[in-house]
């Protein structure tokens, strides 16, 4: 997917909810592009916590690779948050309710627009 030709047909007054593990770099880039275009984007992180025992322990090759990948992912999510794109962890169906309430409160705040 080329992010420079991303056309989803969303308008400036839409809110895009991205439910994802955010492990796929093109999806992260597309999310950042939408946010940079002024579209309200909320990321709901569905990855959750993984126990290192599931991966073979923290010193196994798989465990080390997973920790490195999680560091990269954290950097990407921090960049999204810096763009003003909230990233919230999935905690079941209540997550969407919480995000909608938070977004509604943010929409009521005055906005500064650049010309």
Domain ranges of the chain: 12-99
Q: Residue 8 class from Cβ within 10 Å (0-12 exposed, 13-18 middle, 19+ buried)?
A: exposed
- Tell me the pLDDT band of 102, cut-offs 50, 70 and 90: confident
Contact criterion met (CB below 8 Å) for 45 and 73: no
DSSP letters, 63-102, are: HHHHHHHHHHHHHHHHHHHHTT--EEE--STHHHHHHHHH
Dihedral sign for Cα atoms in the order 66, 69, 75, 77: negative
What share of the chain has pLDDT > 70, as a percent? 82
- Could you say which architecture CATH assigns to the domain 12-99? 3-Layer(aba) Sandwich (3.40)
pTM for this prediction: 0.71
């Amino acid at each position: 997917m080329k992010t420079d030709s991303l056309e989803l047909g969303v308008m400036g007054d839409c809110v895009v909810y991205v439910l994802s593990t955010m492990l796929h770099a093109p999806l992260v880039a597309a999310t950042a592009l939408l946010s940079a275009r002024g579209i309200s984007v909320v990321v709901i992180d569905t990855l959750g916590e993984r126990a290192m025992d599931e991966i073979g322990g923290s010193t196994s090759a798989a465990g080390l690779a997973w920790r490195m990948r999680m560091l990269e992912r954290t950097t990407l999510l921090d960049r999204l948050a810096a763009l003003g794109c909230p990233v919230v962890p999935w905690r079941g169906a209540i997550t969407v309710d919480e995000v909608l309430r938070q977004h509604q409160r943010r929409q009521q705040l005055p906005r500064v627009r650049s010309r």
